[in-house]
Amino acid sequence: MILNCWIVDDEPLALSLIESYVQRVPFLKLTGKYSNALSAMKHIAGEKVDVLFLDIQMPEVNGMEFARVLDDHTRLIFTTAFSEYALEGYKVNAMDYLLKPFSFSDFLTAARKALSWFEMTGGTRESAAEHERVGLFVKSEYKLLHVLYDEILYIEGLKDYVKIYTESDPKPILSLMSLKSLEEVLPDDRFLRVHRSYIIHTNKISSITKNRITIGKKQVPVGETYRKPFREMIEKK
């Protein structure tokens, strides 16, 4: 399978580097490269773009604005120096998020994700709808981590930070973001806010005693204002 790809980046060196990476990947075919999003937007209509490597901070039209007008078919991979856009990138269904400077190995991993997606779905809109996103990106200790939804047990909010507790690591992932912003992007069929300081993965509940939920070894309180939606969720299970 060959994937048609575009590169949009206002930095000439970055544009050249990504182009050289594309040329080293046998399943990628470069069909367009642009130094600004406005030019790319003018030419993308009617084009079959499978993968778009897109910078974010660009003049006139930034990468996020461009991403919002993309066809569902196009898989988006952000290439940027700014990690603070990771959560916003999730909202526009970014497949991956490469932080500059990134290596060819990182680039190839992202490209393979796109290839796997097309192999699974055939690239059709109907099939894509059946394959939900499996996780989100969070910044932790100067790294951008991809956290799988099904690995998350619960999330604890601490002022401007959150602690994400997972099945695979006894140590929580600490990230600078609000619990509210995280709540907005988590799929509501699996996650529920049960307290001003907690969001839980509803499939990870092992027991419920009065207004306390047991997940693993942790007991999570259910806040008074969250008890009604929690009861409604339990009744649907």
Domains of the chain: 3-131 (3.40.50.2300), 149-236 (2.40.50.1020)
At residue 90, the pLDDT reads: 59
In this predicted model, what pLDDT tens digit does every residue of 174-233 receive, in sequence order? 998 889 988 988 988 899 999 999 999 999 999 999 899 999 889 999 999 999 999 888
Average pLDDT, the chain: 86
Q: Give me the residue label for tokens 């048609």.
A: 4
According to the model, what pLDDT value does residue 87 have?
Answer: 58
Cα(179)–Cα(198) distance, integer angstroms: 8
- φ, ψ dihedrals at 116, nearest 5°: -60, -40
Q: Is the pTM of this model over 0.75?
A: no
What's the average model confidence in pLDDT over 40-62? 89
The pair of three-digit structure tokens given for residue 102, joined into one six-digit string: 């990134």
Is-contact 216 204, C-beta < 8 A? yes
Report the C-alpha gap between 73 and 55 in whole angstroms: 19
- For residue 49, count other CB atoms closer than 10 A to its CB: 20
Give pLDDT, residue 133. 57
Check residue 130 and give its pLDDT.
44
Give the whole-angstrom CA distance, residue 215 versus residue 166. Answer: 11
What is the distance between the alpha carbons of residues 137 and 153, in angstroms, rounded to a whole number?
A: 16
Q: Quick one: tokens of 217?
A: 């070894």
Single out the residue of 46, 52, 98, 45 nearest to residue 74, CA to CA: 52
Res 80: pLDDT: 85
- What are the pLDDT digits (tens) for 101-148? 999 999 999 999 889 888 876 655 444 444 445 777 787 876 777 788
- What is the distance between the alpha carbons of residues 152 and 166, in angstroms, rounded to a whole number? 4
